[in-house]
Amino acid sequence: MARIVAYIDHRLGDPDLCPPSIAAAHYLSIRGLYRMFEARGVSAARFIRSRRLERCRAELVSPSMAGVPVGVIAQRWGFRSCSHFSRVFLEEYGESPAAYRKRWAESAAA
């Protein structure tokens, strides 16, 4: 499992990263891969999305990334569209990426 997680982390920026490509790279059946993630209490696709969101969130609050547009950050971490990224970010963190970034910038300035 550690090898699979490392593989995922190394390829998060690839928008084509998906359970079938991960299974193929590790000579597993897709069902076998799904079972491995089910044992962790999460689906493989949800795990990938969560990792991508974590990376995006970290960059949104990083002072060195302050001038980088939200859409560019989303694309760097494998999201194909800014609108999809915004929807899943809102679902996960309870606010839009822009609002999240602004709140963190304001709290850092205070």
- CATH class, 2-109 region: mainly alpha
What mean pLDDT is predicted for residues 14-28?
97
pLDDT at 19: 96
Quick: pLDDT tens for 43-91.
Answer: 999 999 999 999 999 999 999 999 999 999 999 999 999 999 999 999 9
Residue 92 tokens read as: 């996960």
Backbone angles phi and psi of 15, in degrees to 5:
-65, -15
Confidence of residue 98 (pLDDT cuts 50, 70, 90): very high
